[in-house]
Amino acid sequence: MAPSPDQKIRSSLAFLRKADRRVIKSSRQLQKLYGDNDPPGVFELLKRHTFHVEGNRYAGRMTQPQADFLAPYESQTLDDFANALATILICLDRAALAALNGLENALNACQPAAPTAKSEIRPYKFIPVPIGCCTYDTQPPREGMSRATCDGLVGDWTEGPCPPDATGGKPTSKSSRKGKNSGS
């Protein structure tokens, strides 16, 4: 059974907080390396924001720009609000994977990685991150997405590229993995 919009929103808000915290903590370490001895931390950057959508109350910790992005969706449907949250998580996923890719390159002494069919879907040697295809409700399947973010979106994740098929490119493999709310 597909998760309800309410479940998607609650799961996405929980994952956003977790992802933001880790990104901020990682960023602080690099900022300290380059001379900023007191960069802003989790408590300075993440604040509690409350949203009211279709009579439901949702609260989560996030940055002010993320909250500003979500604010116009309060007057829309639960699905619209869930999709707006998905947009934020997809952006965060892309940025985090790009950062890891850059760090991987640096740890590889800036030697180019072996070419692959899809440059954004390649195995990480030093920093292993499961990446693949995520199908999230009304969003089109997304290639090169981390399993963790797909789980946060309560999506279906399959390792590797999204296979094209008659259902619009949604993964059909039995290795497809439901998000964490499905019991796996």
Which residues lie closer than 8 Å to 147 by C-beta, 6 or more apart?
130, 131, 132, 157, 177
pTM: 0.77
Query: How large is the angle between the packed helices 5-33 and 78-107, nearest 10 degrees?
Result: 30
Please write the tens of the pLDDT for every residue from 63-115.
999 999 999 999 999 999 999 999 999 999 999 988 888 888 887 777 765 55
What are the domain boundaries of the chain? 5-182
